[in-house]
Amino acid sequence: MDWEVARWAKLHGSGSMAISELLSIKELQDKLNLSYKNIDELNKIIDMKLPQWPIFQHCVARLDGEEMVEFYAYNVIKCIRSLW
């Protein structure tokens, strides 16, 4: 039930204040046996337990010996691993 409520809260675009107010209903928390009591606690759980997306790598390349080009890229292997 924990995951279903969290999924609904995040996917339905309800305001974080509205979700926090809903979760503050003591009887609701007791009946659903949730591991979070407000949207901030839910966000912390999501940040800590779900895998993070790989970070950008800053790269600089020299073209024709003179021109410098800066670009940002993801490590493709880390991107693929983050999907599973």
pLDDT at 35: 86
Each domain of the chain, given as residue ranges in start order, spans 2-49, 52-84
Round to whole Å and give the CA distance between 84 and 8: 22
Round to whole Å and give the CA distance between 19 and 3: 15
pLDDT at 7: 84
pLDDT at 70: 93
pLDDT at 14: 67
pLDDT at 69: 92
Could you tell me if 36 and 42 are in contact, meaning their C-beta atoms sit under 8 angstroms apart? Answer: yes
The list of the chain residues with pLDDT below 70 reads 1, 14
